[in-house]
Structure 1
Amino acid sequence: MTRKVGTIRDVADRVGLSIATVSRVMNGARNVAPATRDKVLEAIRALNYLPNPAARALSTAKSRTVATVIPSIEHSIYAKFMGAVERTLAEQGYSLVFAVSNGVAEQEHAAVQKLLGMGAEGFILSGQAHGAELTELLDLRRVPYVFTSVYDPDSAVPTIGYDNHALAAEAVRFLRGEGHERIAVLHGPLDTNDRARARLAGARSAAPVAAFEGALDVAGGKQAARAALAEANRPTALLCFSDVLALGACFALAEAGLSVPGEMSVMGFDNLDWTSELVPPLTTMNLPARKMGQEAARQLVERLETGVPLASARFDGTIITRGSVAPPR
């Protein structure tokens, strides 16, 4: 049998209180006596009442919804991040909505407009490079927002993430410490990804490196690795700015009959869940995506609830040393 769903009026009639009082309980207002709150919540459970989010947003001018726009949902680094954002928001009674930009500015702007129309009260945006029209739109609406996956203490917009320049430089210094003087960097498209540009600049600040671009997927990693192997002065180590690119590079090396790490060392970025299961396991730069997501969500909720200003936060990466890197022969 289908259980009848009650309305907010049914709840109010059952407890002998006004609809306004029931609404205050549902919205977590603090000016409600504990006994009254318990009575209302008991009636809600008894009547199987489910509040209408849209109606509540209209009556309170708050949707308790935060939005995030990410470049892709095809890589598990975003799953880690989004999962942490959603859990942190849920703990505070907020919901998450998201859209995918595919790294295209026009798609990102359209997504933000759509999410604003859905009542999103705050935004989490990947990277630091966004069109002026997009940020002007959010500023005009007085909607708080943060940039993630980057850290720039001089940014006018709070950044919560990593110093990509410093991390890439650290990775190059690590490989040179293992004895590698000829290092090739494999990266995704630079024109749509400011994080990749920062990492390449950081790598080059630490040592002269060759750079090879490919699509940010396994096939792109294979393509970039093949280009590196075709160089007359072939590198002895491949530094990949994504574990997905590193996986493609490993496939390309296997096809070329080259062993890892005996004839070529490979290092990734991200520390995705499967990297420890590769043969050999992948040495990689661990990025604390979950902590970053938690911090971005926590700050936005605090800003929406109390008006506390958003602040930049830096999360350091750590090199996870495994079997894919060894001194060159």
Structure 2
Amino acid sequence: MNELLEQRYRTVLRLLPRSYRAEREEEMVAAFMEFSGDVPDEENPRPRWDEIASVLALSMRVRVGAAGATPRFVAWGAAVRLVATLGLAFHAAAGTFTLASLAFMTPGSMTRPLGVLAAALWMPAFVLLMRGHVRTAKPVALAAGAAALAELAAWQSLTSLFVPLDVVPPALDVVVPLAALLVGFHDDVPPVRRAWRPTVLPLAAGLLLRAVVLALLAPALGKVPLLWPWVDLMGLATVVLVVAGIVCLARDLPAYVPLALAILGTLMLPSRLSLMDNSYLSLGPSALWVSSVSQCVALVVMVTVLAVAGFRGLPSVRQGRAVV
């Protein structure tokens, strides 16, 4: 009997949640052992790398609500998918803003081709996801993310000093929603076709921001520096998240909603912290601290409250498996 190999398979299966192992471990070990054949312990047998990778992939799927997951993991899966959806919605709005801004650029103005490419790809990626074409949305979103990260790397190469708060937040804003998209929308999640109204809402918001809001506020920005941190894309997103958090808490929505909002708020916080460095303050009076600090405080408070509400609302770990 290959006791050494069996023990190593059981060690690999510890990657899976305990609730899943309790029902499937013996069956999976038997299948692995049958497929591996009769290999004596003297040959020091080990699980193959593809088998380890398959167990790791299964572990990730179960933890985001795959078939056989507990209700708690199903809730986490819904939170991950909401993070992906809202993250792509933000990038779609930003992409619309960027493309609309091209019409107002003066001849000879410098453009960033990779940034324009990323903006043009985020929009269809979000629309495809909302309309239920998940398999097509994933490669389009990956291409948009690759272009955005390449643009960020190109911009960083032009500077002689690496400033983490200037580079890490925008990179995380790209990587986290993409990871949530790839992990959360697995094969056990049936595609959902959303209505056109919520699908085009982020695109309309990007156009509205460029064509109306900034046009109306532009004359006042030079006179009221306190407005500066509130009229950029991330500043407006901060306002939207705080309002959405208040509505979420008031309406007692399912646990995955406050959890997703807490994750997104955590992603926003570093970008707001970067506003308080000396280079930013040199552009205006010290009163800018009032706006910058108030945004950070609002995000910290809202993220904390949402996280507590989300964790309290999660199903008990002792509840049975969900049927997906």
TM-score normalized by structure 2? 0.26
Higher strand share: 1
Larger radius of gyration: 1
Q: What is the TM-score when the length of structure 1 is the normalising length?
A: 0.25
Query: Which structure is higher in RCO with an 8 Å CA cutoff and minimum separation 6?
Result: 2
